[in-house]
Structure 1
Amino acid sequence: MNRTSQPLFTGAHGAVPPGYEVLKEEHEVAVLGAPQSPAPVTTTVINIRSDTAVPDHIVWSLFNTIFMNCCCLGFVAFAYSVKSRDRKMVGDITGAQSYASTAKCLNICALVLGILLSIVLIILVSTGSLMIVQAILELIQNYGGH
């Protein structure tokens, strides 16, 4: 190992603080060859199954949570979807399928209830507005002649 004193800062001042020196080391690179140990080489094989495609319905659950959240069914479906995704990440395929099935049923219920309530709301608003228009026209006819 060679020790040479060289300036550390080469800026405007160019002065080296006392006690500082730059160290240089020389390294040799050995050429690697065949393994030197007589032990057999062992390998590890990890099998990753591609049949783990369990749908967790998280996008559908998020849609139902935001738009069709009747009786909080969309939120509960979203919670089950997240649980399904967690089980899938851990590797518990059976648990993931169970949670995904529950999330799917809750999503179907939330969607059907949301659509039915939307249709009922549209019918009530349209018939209510028609009744209001009829009442106004009747008032105009009755009191407009005086």
Structure 2
Amino acid sequence: MFQQEHKIPAMEAPQDSFPVTTTVVTIHTETAVPDHIVWSLFNTIFMNWCCLGFMAFAYSVKSRDRKMVGDMTGARTYASTAKCLNIWALVLGLLLTITFIIFFVAGSLMISQTISE
């Protein structure tokens, strides 16, 4: 008797005469094209050896413009070029900065040895 009191009636489908309609939403994942504009701006300000950072920034802006127009293929091409230029600007900038620091430290040590002799 206890089980009969606490039974929950099964949910049944509505008996309406209206047809059931469904809505399908298709989400395209191709619209997310990174334009690397923040990375390009960083390289333009801090790692602008041989103007690679500035060129990367220009291609990033072109990529953003193409994305706003709806040309995803052009945006992807410009973004790829900006990424490549950013990598080269960062690697070249780090190597040249480290080289200058090494030369500065070595030069300072040589000057201090010359003065002490």
Q: TM-score, normalised on structure 2?
A: 0.76
Task: Please name the residue that 1:125 is paired with.
Answer: 104
In 2, Cα distance between the equivalents of 1:113 and 1:96? 25
1:65 equivalent to 2:44? Answer: yes
Task: Please name the residue that 1:87 is paired with.
Answer: 66
| Higher relative helix content | 2
Task: Please name the residue that 2:82 is paired with.
Answer: 103
In 2, Cα distance between the equivalents of 1:104 and 1:136? 48
Residue 50 of structure 1 deviates from its aligned partner by 4.7
Residue 48 of structure 1 deviates from its aligned partner by 7.4
Considering Cα pairs closer than 8 Å and 6+ residues apart, tell me whether 1 or 2 has the greater RCO: 2
1:137 equivalent to 2:112? Answer: no
Q: Which structure: larger Rg?
A: 1
Structure 2 unmatched runs, 5+: 1-25
Please provide the CA RMSD for this pair: 1.3
In 1, Cα distance between the equivalents of 2:30 and 2:84? 23
Task: Please name the residue that 1:52 is paired with.
Answer: 31
1:112 equivalent to 2:91? Answer: yes
Residue 127 of structure 1 deviates from its aligned partner by 0.1
